[in-house]
């Protein structure tokens, strides 16, 4: 990895195709991963983790294919801190001109005692050996201390220094179980960032078990982390990973408070989210920040009125800047005449006050019966009103059937 020459630049390490893909309902075939990888390139991610080659033939093939088809992309492959894993990752990355081997081992006492049954010294030795071996295949080697946030900070410091001495260029400190809270996370990341200085990039990888993945990642950046590991729509193990779109746009919109930046082309965020949703078995929840169906929808009458007078009253992000075609007014029973008039104009009908009154009464009749009035229903009301039918309410009933 090139040395960071700008202290405010944050690298985006996308793990949609690895951590994201390994969660229920998210598995992808090799061609699907390739399609998603093309979109991630357009989006401008800095590093793309394409899979865990030792885990399956499919993962090996995915890393291999993406490396072959996109040789200039910085592709990462995951490997436990063992010879067989590292060599398998290196093999899969062979066609890549900018390979990154990402090796990891757990460092918390909980994992050492119950999972690995190894001493701290043994884990440190395994980590150093894996990094040394990985460096024989790639100049760019990332080490992850799994469960870093539940690891004794003194030991985390010791192992971080040891892997950098062994050649690691990035040290990732995952909040594997989503346990950390922002101020505590900032303290831990800040401590490791200070001791490593310019010798390696400090990275974070936050899971969302307490709904704090974005907050923790941003707190870490403020403390000195310069790589964020994240996924489109926040998919990933259990409650998921930090959502790429959230951290990127937060740094952009609140640059006054978060004076860092990424090279993500934000106009591709919504299309990337949509593509992922069409490949896996679910999309983001409707109220998901930035990419959910309602993320830019205003329904309450007071909100719609303010929004129509000046968008800045209720909109902090221009939807177009994240690739959403336009902010949407969802008309429902809380919408006022002003919003309805604007919708009619949008649909190509400038209404007089009397015409609007007539359409409005039919609109309220529909909105009282069901949630949300569609554009088709509004058009039907306008047509009926213009055709001079008996009463707008009767036509509304017909349009609603």
Binding site for Zn ion (CB under 5 A): 19
Q: In the bound complex, what is the minimum distance in angstroms from residue 327's beta carbon to Zn ion?
A: 34
What character string, x for contact with ligand KIV (CB under 6 A) and - otherwise, covers 126-145? Answer: ------------------x-
* Among 99, 35, 19, residue whose Cα is nearest residue 27: 19
Binding of ligand KIV at residue 234 (CB under 6 A)?
no
Give the nearer residue to ligand KIV in terms of CB position, either 213 or 381.
Answer: 213
Q: How far apart are CA 13 and CA 90, in angstroms?
A: 19
Residue nearest to Zn ion (CB): 19
Judged by beta carbon, residue 172 or residue 233, the one nearer ligand KIV is 172
Does 51 bind ligand KIV (CB under 6 A)? Our answer is: no
Q: What are the beta bridge partners of residue 178?
A: none
Q: Which is nearer to ligand KIV, 235 or 367 (CB)?
A: 235
Class of residue 252 by CB neighbours under 10 A (exposed 0-12, middle 13-18, buried 19+): middle
Residue 19 makes contact with ligand KIV by CB under 6 A = yes
How many Å apart are CA 34 and CA 47, to the nearest integer?
15
List the x/- string, 190-229, binding to ligand KIV by CB under 6 A: ---------------x-x----------------------
User: Taking a C-beta distance cutoff of 8 angstroms, is the pair 213, 206 a contact?
Assistant: yes
CA-nearest of 175, 218, 228, 226 to 196 is 226
Cβ-based nearer residue to ligand KIV, 127 or 365:
127
**Nearest CB to ligand KIV, comparing residues 144 and 335:** 144
Closer residue to ligand KIV (CB): 207 or 298: 207
Angle at 288 between CA 286 and CA 291, to 5 degrees: 90
Is residue 217 classed as helix, strand or coil in its secondary structure?
helix
Q: Which is nearer to Zn ion, 174 or 332 (CB)?
A: 174
Q: With binding defined as CB under 6 A, does residue 149 bind ligand KIV?
A: no
Asked if 180 is part of the footprint of ligand KIV (rule: CB under 6 A), the reply reads no
Mark 281-318 as b/e (b = at least 16 C-beta within 10 Å): eebbeeebbbbbeebbbbbbbebbbbbbeeeeebeebe
Choice between 235 and 378, CB closer to Zn ion: 235
Q: Tell me, residue by residue from 262 to 301, as one string, x for binding to ligand KIV by CB under 6 A and - for no binding.
A: ----------------------------------------
Rounded least distance, CB 22 to Zn ion, Å: 9
Closest approach, Cβ 274 to Zn ion, in A, equals: 24
Q: Number of residues in contact with ligand KIV, rule: CB under 6 A? A: 9
Distance CA(262)–CA(71), nearest Å, equals: 22
Tokens of 5: 């020459």
146 binds ligand KIV (CB under 6 A): yes
User: Tokens 């640059």 correspond to what residue?
Assistant: 255
CB of 175 to Zn ion, least distance (A): 9
Q: Cα angle at 184 between 180 and 190, to 5 degrees?
A: 115
* Residues with Cβ within 8 Å of residue 363, at least 6 apart in sequence: 331, 340, 373, 378, 381, 396
Which residues are CB-neighbours of 358 under 8 A, at least 6 positions away?
385, 392
DSSP notation for 22-48: TSTT----HHHHHHHHHHHHHHT-SEE
| 87 is a site residue for ligand KIV (CB under 6 A) | no
Site for ligand KIV in 154-173 (CB under 6 A): 172
Q: Which residues of the chain form contacts with ligand KIV (CB under 6 A)?
A: 19, 104, 144, 146, 172, 174, 176, 205, 207
């Amino acid at each position: 990895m090139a040395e960071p020459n700008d202290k405010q630049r944050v690298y985006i390490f996308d793990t949609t195709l690895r951590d994201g893909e390994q969660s229920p309902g998210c598995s992808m075939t090799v061609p699907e991963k390739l399609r998603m990888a093309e979109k991630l390139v357009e989006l401008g991610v800095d590093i793309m983790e394409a899979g865990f080659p030792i885990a399956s033939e499919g993962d090996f093939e995915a890393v291999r294919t993406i490396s072959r088809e996109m040789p200039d992309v910085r592709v990462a492959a995951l490997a436990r801190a063992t010879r067989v894993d590292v060599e398998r990752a290196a093999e899969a990355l062979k066609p890549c001109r900018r390979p990154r081997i990402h090796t990891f081992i757990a460092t918390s006492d909980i994992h050492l005692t119950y999972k690995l049954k190894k001493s701290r010294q043994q884990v440190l030795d395994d980590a150093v050996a894996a990094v040394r071996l990985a460096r024989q295949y790639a100049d760019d080697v990332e080490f992850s201390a799994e469960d870093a946030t539940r690891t004794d900070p003194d030991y985390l410091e010791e192992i971080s220094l040891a892997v950098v001495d062994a050649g690691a260029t990035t040290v990732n400190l995952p909040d594997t179980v989503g346990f950390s809270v922002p101020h505590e996370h900032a303290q831990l990341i800040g401590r490791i960032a200070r001791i490593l200085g310019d010798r390696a990039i400090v990275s974070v990888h936050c899971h969302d078990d307490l709904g704090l993945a974005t907050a923790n990642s941003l707190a870490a950046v403020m403390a000195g982390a310069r790589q964020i590991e994240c996924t489109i729509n926040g998919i990933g193990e259990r409650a998921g990973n930090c959502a790429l779109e959230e951290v990127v746009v937060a740094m952009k919109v609140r640059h006054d408070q978060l004076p860092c930046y990424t090279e993500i082309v934000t106009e591709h965020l919504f299309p990337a989210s949509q593509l992922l949703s069409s490949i896996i078995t679910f999309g983001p929840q409707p109220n998901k920040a930035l990419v959910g169906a309602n993320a830019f929808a205003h329904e309450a009458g007071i909100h719609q009125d303010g929004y129509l007078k000046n968008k800045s009253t209720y909109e902090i992000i221009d939807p177009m800047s994240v690739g959403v075609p336009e902010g949407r007014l969802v008309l429902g029973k809380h919408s006022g005449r002003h919003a309805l008039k604007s919708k009619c104009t949008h649909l190509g009908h400038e209404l007089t006050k009397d015409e609007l009154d007539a359409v409005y009464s039919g609109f309220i009749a529909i909105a009282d019966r069901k949630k949300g009035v569609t554009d088709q229903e509004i058009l039907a009301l306008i047509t009926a009103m213009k055709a001079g039918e008996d009463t707008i309410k009767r036509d509304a009933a017909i349009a609603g059937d």
